[in-house]
Structure 1
Amino acid sequence: MIYATADASEGDDVESVNLDWEQGRNLNSCREPGDVDAAFDRGEGHVGVALIALVHNNPDTDAVLPRVARGLRSPNPETRRQSLLALTHTARLHGRVDAITVELLHALLSDRTPINDESAYEVRGTATQTVGDLQVFLPSEQLPAWVNHFTGC
């Protein structure tokens, strides 16, 4: 179930929202990890949008980070890009990432896949920005040495 009010706390009555996965409408209300899992399982094209919303709407980082990792492994370059944005938001909002997502980020620094057919922008560009964001949002002692010494590609 997807909820309409992102700031609702547990136990609050919230209105469910009909999601339009085809057009990507109402996905910014996603707060349930299971909804993101189901979207990944169905191969939804806008799952990355829901993943970013999950980061914003669900305070349980232990539930969010495995979904971010799944997105970073996606065969879809746009989903990988959106998952990198979700990783940045996780660091900014929740103050941590995990070893798995950082390892996947490291691999994406060499991902030369264009985001889409109309763009020459590559996944590695967002990965490079994500490393810089982690340097800003997290204490250096939480990060592996390669992140702390990274200066760009």
Structure 2
Amino acid sequence: MIYAAAGDSAPEGDDAEPVGLDWERGGNLNRCRELGDVDAAFDRGEERVGAALIALVYNNLDTDAVLPRVARGLRSPNPEIRRQSLLALMHTARLHGRVDATALDLLHGLLYDCTPISVGSPYEVRGTAAQTVGDLQAFLPSEQLPAWVNDFTDY
């Protein structure tokens, strides 16, 4: 379930009006805040689940619960969902000041993912993975990161 609130801020309390997510057009996925909505979207194979995952990072403050969904996206067979999940990981580091070991292990593997993010695209998943490492270096203390992140320089 997603909640619509007046203005651009996330709702607080139970007085927000629930509305359905528009998975077909994706126009309101930026309001996603419920873990179950993202889980169900992954289970259904929704092509826009990555956008909802990014919103979840912004709208759900339970980072411990959000990070397993980010990891699920990083494992997706869909390269665009992997790319969007990398963006979600970047935002998690920036907004919440941490990531977890599972996401870091998956990120490490994606540095070698030469899959184009979409058919005919010159951009590969590994490019977004390299940007993600740079963001982790910028937003997290080096002592929170494994040596490979701290030592990483863009290829």
* Smaller-chain TM-score bracket: over 0.9
**Contact persistence 1:17–1:26 (CA under 8 A):** no
The answer for the alignment partner of 2:134 in structure 1 is 132
Percent of aligned pairs with the same residue? 77
| CA–CA distance in structure 2, aligned partners of residues 111 and 39 of structure 1 | 24
In 2, Cα distance between equivalents of 1:85 and 1:121: 15
**Residue among 78, 81, 85 paired with 2:80:** 78
Q: Post-superposition shift, 1:79? A: 0.2
SS of 1:3 mapped into structure 2:
strand
The alpha carbon displacement at 1:18 in A equals 2.4
Who is 1:12 aligned against? 14
Aligned equivalent of 1:143 = 145
After superposition, the C-alpha distances for 1:100-123 in whole angstroms (9 at most, x for unaligned) are 000000000000000001311000
Partners of 2:67 and 2:20 in 1: CA distance: 25
Q: How many angstroms does 1:28 deviate by? A: 0.4
Contact 2:53 2:70 in 1 (8 A): yes
Q: Secondary structure at the match of 2:152?
A: coil
- Paired residue type of 1:3: Y
Counterpart among 106, 110, 113 of residue 115 in structure 2: 113
Moved over 2 A (4+): none
In the alignment, is the contact (CA less than 8 A) between 1:55 and 1:64 conserved in 2?
yes
Work out the number of aligned pairs and report it.
152
Between 111-120 and 93-102, the greater mean CA deviation after superposition: 111-120
Q: 1:88 & 1:114 partners in 2: Cα distance?
A: 20
The DSSP-based 3-state class of the residue aligned with 2:26 is coil
What is aligned with 2:44?
42
Work out whether residues 84 and 126 of structure 1, in 8 Å CA contact, stay in contact via their aligned partners in 2: yes
Please say if 1:58 is aligned against 2:66.
no
Pairwise CA distance, 1:19 = 1.7
Q: Residue type of the partner of 2:4?
A: A
Partner of 1:3: 3
Bigger CA drift: 16-25 or 48-57? 16-25
Deviations 1:50-99 (A, max 9, x none): 00000000111001000000000000000000000000000000000000
Structure 2 unmatched runs, 5+: none
Equivalents in 1 of 2:97, 2:132: separation in Å?
Answer: 14
The whole-number CA distance in structure 1 between the counterparts of 2:125 and 2:92 is 19
CA RMSD, 1 decimal: 0.9
1:132-152 CA distance string (max 9 Å, x none): 000000000000000000001
* Partner-residue secondary structure (3-state), 2:24: coil
